[in-house]
Amino acid sequence: MPRHFIINLILALFALAEGCANQSPSPLSAMPVAKSFSIVILSRGQGVPALAKDKLKQIESLLKPYDDRGELKVSKSRIGLEGETKACVTVSDSKIAGQLLSQIQAMAKGVDLMNVTAEPCDPQY
């Protein structure tokens, strides 16, 4: 192989590597926002704690006007023998979904056995 071919190949690889290194990562704001999330209340063998049940009712009240306007869909299923429940919320607009998710996560913060997770909704819920 001619020497100039190898040198040109090496220079091309360096140029390619430099071009990749200079790319800035995409900002987090460009990442897609989840349009669905779940709310799960669980138990430890003595039923779902009263606070978790109350918070779920408050969250349902928060979501009702959006549901009435057709901006979201809530599917709720009992997932255990002691009242464990999973509510799956699918929102038509990602901006509203992000706002609701943040608000609901704040409401659920510190509530024992209550989890709020941004995730695709399972069709069965």
User: pLDDT tens digits for 50-94?
Assistant: 999 999 999 999 999 999 999 999 999 999 999 999 999 999 999
CATH number for the domain running over 28-118 = 3.30.70.600
Residue type, 91: V
Tens of pLDDT along 21-59? 555 554 544 555 679 999 999 999 999 999 999 999 999
- The pLDDT value given to residue 34: 79
What 3-state DSSP class applies to 116?
strand
**CA distances, 116 to each of 43, 68, 84, 125 (Å):** 15, 22, 14, 15
Q: Structure pTM?
A: 0.71
